[in-house]
Structure 1
Amino acid sequence: MVRILRSLVLLVSLGWSSLAAATVDITFHSFDGSVLGGRYPHAFVSMEGTLEDGTAVKENFGFSAKRATIAVLRGPVEHMILVEDDKWLNRTNRHFKLSMTDEQYREVRDMIEAWRNAPGRYYDLKTRNCIHFVGEIGRIMGLKVSYPKKLLRKPKSWLNHIMTLNPALGPSPID
């Protein structure tokens, strides 16, 4: 009986410790793009792991114009939240990864839904593009963020810039 009780206590404590150790990692990506390949440069995030309640998370989000037309150069256009297929996800530059609290995860998801459901033409190449979207997620994660004008169409260079603003992120910028 004592042995069964000890085993039960061990199983319960292991279960609680695995819940306490639950975490979701958020990775900040850029995609170089290629006019010939049909893709433009892009920044986005992916999230993967387990929330404290045991919910598994494996998702990614970016922000884009609904249609890639010349209208993007003239001002605000219709927008969408872009979810990358695995084939594209595996071809990205992975700049850095952070661990999220459940509260940060919920705040990021709320922000994503707010951008998804924004009325009217919400995508603007100069003021509200994929870089601004990822930047707002970075702020939620506690990062220092800025948007130098010369980097607003260069997701990889911009994420490298964010790394220089936040030296604790570690690795060197991506060439």
Structure 2
Amino acid sequence: MKLRKSFVAYWLAVSAGLLALFSTPVSAQQFRLGYVSLDRIIKEAAPAKNAQVRLEQEFSKREKELQTQGAALKTRADQFEKDAPTLSESQRSARQKELVDLDRDFQRNRREFQEDLSRRRNEELQQVFERANRVVKQVADAEKYDLILQEAVYVNPKHDITDKVIQALNASAK
């Protein structure tokens, strides 16, 4: 019985607290929430597009060289397949070794290219993200936002400020 009275008293206190909490008037100041899509910034903002152009210019020559090297390797492999039945065992073995060496060089060059490209892309994107974060902070300060999110499962479009951020980034890129 004593346990029951304390349980009832506890729930009465909790209920009274909740009632007091929900019955207090809402403050005059409203909480402002915003959302920014980094994916859209990367796709649409001028600094991100400029970074992509720089990367393409920087790596296009190496990419073409890799394509040429790959095509030459394929041509040599096709020629080997065609000639293999008529080659002596020593010639076949020498050509196979040569193809293996060429393929190893090609794979190494391709891996180095991918690593270099990935590193440079990360550097460029990091600069874009830093600029975007500064612009987001400026927009938040200017428009009195309390919280800006970058990742969310769902966002009501009225909270999306990505267009404002993209416009500000584009203006600062000129």
Considering fraction of residues, name the structure with more helix: 2
Query: What TM-score does the superposition give when structure 1 sets the normalisation length?
Result: 0.24
Query: What TM-score does the superposition give when structure 2 sets the normalisation length?
Result: 0.24
Ranked by relative contact order (alpha carbons within 8 Å, sequence separation 6 or more), the top structure is 2
Structure with bigger gyration radius: 2
Considering fraction of residues, name the structure with more strand: 1
